[in-house]
Amino acid sequence: MIGSSLWGALALSSFGVNIWQFVVACFTPVHQRPASAAHTPGVTILKPLKGREGRSRQCLRSWFTLRYLGPIQLLFGVKDADDPIVEIIRELQVEFPEVDAQVVVCPESLGPNAKVSTLMQLEHLIKYPLVVVSDADVQVPYDYLTAATWWFRESDVGLVSNLYCLANPSTFAMYWEATVVNSDFWCQVMQARQLGQVKFALGAAMMVRREMLERIGGFSSIVEYLADDYQLGRRIFQLPARVEISPLVVECWEGRGSWSHVWGHQLRWARTIRVCQPIPYFFSIITAVSWWAMLWLFIGDGSPLMVAAILGLRVLMATIQSFRLKSYKNRYNPVLIGLIAPLKDILSTVIWLLAFGGGKVKWRGRTFRVGSNGRMVAL
């Protein structure tokens, strides 16, 4: 009887947390644009790049076609001048000669984080007071800069990052990862914002004040860390300055991902979060509502009808939230994401356990050990 009550309490508590996240996300005005474009300072955009994939041209083109009233500088950093991505950039420079765009070869390895090493070599070329850092596979709407700079009309705002979605899952493994991001992760981010000030950033697209970037020591202060977005947001918050999350959604268009690729990515992400935020990470297991519901059913002699209702609502909530994040261009099925949600809870529980099994991660073809402070050392 005590065991049944315990499993039931855990299942219902998990379900309550999921309902809470769902409600908070429902009140988030996803895809919202600012009412005016009155604040238009100059912006420098930094894009560290390596290699090309099927969607590379479209993603990069979105940065050339931004509509913004202020001046824009585009800096593309590559390690090798012969990188195939350079050909695409050269073609876009010809297509859009009016855009201030430059390819910069960044051959030096200045730390274990190759992306941040490239940013360090771009840093001295920055012209403008606001700086954008964005991943290679990110596609932005034409008014991204207008929406992001709107936040900086208030002087205490130091960094703004955006909600993002995985736009093109093409395998079952990628749909599992899309369920993590498009239905759950952004709801958890909104819940964290409701609980207090945001102390982290989301790395798909981040805009930061140049002066505050300089005050934290520039990009060199985070080159030893795997979670550079988290570290950048934390340091800006500690200045102190406000860190905000914009509800405008940017899109991540990835190449075709296998199970091993997606599994490795999720494990790397989990171990990184565990070392950066150990206590919140430990308690995050409570969000795996399908896991707790199944344990209640098979171990705690829970009501089949009650468990079926929990799982049904889990599928419905995941479908609704993934649909809300979707734009007309995204190539994913929100219903399929919802149906995968119970399986995602089970797999995420396994990932959660494995994250405690060590500090090794694989990233960009190399193996690193991530220490308790978040620093990584190449092995």
In percent, the amount of the chain with pLDDT more than 90 equals 78
pLDDT number for residue 3:
63
- Report the alpha-carbon distance of residue 146 to residue 122 in Å, rounded: 23
CB 80 within 8 A of CB 108: no
Decide if 11 contacts 310 (C-beta within 8 A): yes
Confidence of residue 160 (pLDDT cuts 50, 70, 90): very high
- The closest alpha carbon to 219, from 46, 18, 68, belongs to 46
Q: Which residues of 247-286 are buried (b: 16+ CB within 10 A; e: fewer)?
A: ebbbbbbbeebeeebbbebbbbbbbbbbbbbeeebeebbe
Per-residue pLDDT tens over the stretch 47-81: 999 998 878 999 999 999 999 999 999 999 999 99
Q: 232-286: per-residue pLDDT in tens?
A: 999 999 999 999 999 999 999 988 889 999 998 999 899 888 888 889 899 999 9
pLDDT at 329 > cutoff 80: no
Query: What would you report as the CA-atom Rg of the chain, rounded to the nearest whole angstrom?
Result: 21
Question: What is the C-alpha separation between 107 and 96, in angstroms, rounded?
Answer: 27
pLDDT by residue (tens digit) across 103-137?
Answer: 999 999 999 999 999 999 999 999 999 999 999 99
pLDDT for residue 275: 84
The CATH number of the structural domain formed by 43-167+201-255 is: 3.90.550.10
* b/e sequence 19-28, b meaning 16+ C-beta within 10 Å: eebbebbeeb
* Distance from C-alpha of 348 to C-alpha of 273, rounded to nearest angstrom: 13
User: Would you list the domain boundaries of the chain?
Assistant: 43-167+201-255
What is the DSSP-derived secondary structure letter of residue 300?
A: S
Task: Enter the tokens of residue 73.
Answer: 């500088």
